Amino acid sequence: MERENQFIGQSGAFLDAVERASRAAPMRRPVLVVGERGTGKELIAERLHRLSDRWEEPLVIMNCAALPETLIEAELFGHEAGAFTGATKVREGRFEEADRGTLFLDELGTLSMGAQERLLRAVEYGEVTRIGSSRPTRVDVRIVAATNENLPKLAKEGRFRADLLDRLSFEVITLPPLRVREGDIAVLADYFGRRMAAELGWEEWPGYATHIAEALENHPWPGNVRELRNVVERAVYRWDDWSRPIAHAVFDPFDSPWKPIATVPEAPRPASAKDTVANPAPVESDFSNVDDLRVAVDAHERAIVEYALGANRWNQRQTAKSLGLSYDQLRHCIKKHGLAVQD
């Protein structure tokens, strides 16, 4: 498994998690990787494999949530011909495929109790038995599992085997979400942006306009690094003028005036931080510190015009129309606030 993605970041929380993975890699014990979606659990699994003495052997990946419950055990442990309807020939399971290497079990928390029981035996005794066979097969597999679930809580509720959790949690690496990785958003946004610009053949990297850089920092990033990469790459490829800093980014690709209307009325929900970022107010509504009305009004006007220009991809005629201004009035505002050249 080769990845274009790299470990990019400088925050202490992120570097601590990577360092823990590096220290655990040479061990032959199981490792449990915990983190929200998009935090890089699969990259940690790859690091654990590549830095171990098994690096020349297979790294086999299985997403436990991608298969129906009836097929998970057959995928993990294999089956004999005729073991069930459709089993026309013998098939090795993922454990046998990963023999002498590493088996990465993603979305571990979705495994059925039956699969958990068989997995427990495989972990404890190093043996797997294909479905339809009574003969166990010895395997030498290092297990790395990942989840975004609270497995100790599931174990207390009887929805995950506590004895299996004990055996898989020799080391637990918890990846920090992007929103707490201080300083990493700007680093990642620059990395993904430059990579996309190179892919598009841009002659230089213009960077981001100030309001976009601030919006990236303030977004809550529920999808973490994966979401950030999508937002940045989308912003770069939609930006036509590589000589100007990128001044528009779409955080919600489904946001459209023509999106389908829900057939079932939805209960009103409070405004979220995401809404605030996707449709930012030009300036804060804190008037307690205003001591110069003219300066405050000018700052407000500049922020509105700058945001509208970015939203309309610096098409000045479209921006003027969206603000209810004439073209000449908008040109005056641009000149007044020095917006012709982005910093």
**What tens-digit pLDDT sequence spans the chain (343 residues)?**
344 557 899 999 999 999 999 999 999 999 999 999 999 999 999 999 999 999 999 999 999 998 887 788 888 988 888 777 777 788 888 999 999 999 999 999 999 898 899 899 899 999 998 888 888 899 999 999 999 999 999 999 999 999 999 999 999 999 999 999 999 999 999 999 999 999 999 999 999 999 999 999 999 999 999 999 999 999 999 998 999 999 999 999 998 878 787 665 555 555 444 443 344 444 445 566 777 788 878 888 888 888 888 777 778 888 888 888 888 888 888 888 887 644 3
Core vs surface per residue 209-236: b (16+ CB within 10 A) or e: bebbbebbeebebebbbebbbbbbbebb
Confirm or reject CATH 1.10.8.60 for domain 180-337, answering yes or no. yes
User: How many C-beta atoms lie closer than 10 Å to residue 85's C-beta?
Assistant: 6
C-beta of residue 76 within 8 angstroms of C-beta of residue 62: yes
* CATH 3.40.50.300 domain span(s) along the chain: 12-176
Measured in whole angstroms, the distance separating CA 193 from the mean position of its chain's CA atoms is 16
C-beta of residue 304 within 8 angstroms of C-beta of residue 282: yes
* CATH 1.10.8.60 domain span(s) along the chain: 180-337
Q: Which residue is it, tokens 């490829």?
A: 237
| Nearest to 181, CA basis, from 219, 209, 208, 151 | 219
| CATH of region 12-176 | 3.40.50.300
Core vs surface per residue 121-138: b (16+ CB within 10 A) or e: ebbeeeebbbbeeeeebe
Sequence-distant (6+) residues with CB within 8 A of 303 are: 211, 282, 283
Q: Please give the order of strands across the beta sheet that includes 102-106.
A: 59-63, 102-106, 142-147, 31-34, 171-174
Query: What is the token pair recorded at 260?
Result: 């389908």
Q: pTM value?
A: 0.73
